[in-house]
A and B are shown apart, each in its own frame.
Chain A
Amino acid sequence: AQSVAQPEDQVNVAEGNPLTVKCTYSVSGNPYLFWYVQYPNRGLQFLLKYITGDNLVKGSYGFEAEFNKSQTSFHLKKPSALVSDSALYFCAVRKVGGSARQLTFGSGTQLTVLP
């Protein structure tokens, strides 16, 4: 079975400061990892993914994430937060190959960027 943990329900950061949203995963075998963002009353928007290769993945809106296999983590980062980044962020995992092609999501982290 695959699972995702987002240990923080809420992250607050001041505008202009760096932000980190944490994610750890559990999957048998190699993972595909994803970050999605959800604004109020909106659907899930794709931010970035890790498939293979470079452990540092760059995505939309200046976000990046670092895949760490030994720590089974895929933390989302941004060097300088904007108020408009305030939203609900979901980490998701899918096993490479196999029959389990659906995404398993974490519980989400509400990011609030304070002006």
Chain B
Amino acid sequence: EPEVTQTPSHQVTQMGQEVILRCVPISNHLYFYWYRQILGQKVEFLVSFYNNEISEKSEIFDDQFSVERPDGSNFTLKIRSTKLEDSAMYFCASRDLYEQYFGPGTRLTVT
């Protein structure tokens, strides 16, 4: 069964450093998403991506964040200058007609 994959599973970085989180969506899906979950809190929408551009973004997704689909398979989330409060689990998802399929997540720890 096809699945969304994410790398790395855990990323530790120092405050102010740039991080890139990588996702490989399901191959025939056209809509891609990033969500985050701060420890103990709800899953929050960050951004959606369709046809090589951002279709929607939340207020969390400020200028420090960017997304890219550099080739036909990868979908990346970049945080330019990480802050302590960026520590969270980041989930990638891709969507068929109705259902979003989530990856296993990347746990980002900012020290």
Contact = CB atoms under 8 A, between A and B. Distances in A.
Interface in B40-61: 41-45, 48, 55-56, 58
Interface string B65-105: 00000000000000000000000000100010011111111
Q: Which range contains the number of B residues in contact with the other chain?
A: 20 to 34
Given A32-B98, A43-B91, A51-B98, A104 B104 contact: no
Nearest to B6: A43
Contacts, number: 53
A2 B101 CA distance: 20
Contact of B45 (A36, A43, A102): A102
Contacts of A92: 43
Interface of B: 31, 33, 35, 41-45, 48, 55-56, 58, 91, 95, 98-105
Interface of A: 32, 34, 36, 42-46, 49, 51, 90, 92, 99-108
24 contacts: A32-B98, A34-B99, A34-B100, A36-B102, A43-B91, A43-B104, A43-B105, A44-B91, A46-B100, A46-B101, A49-B98, A90-B42, A90-B43, A99-B56, A101-B31, A102-B33, A102-B45, A102-B48, A103-B43, A104-B45, A105-B43, A105-B44, A107-B42, A108-B42
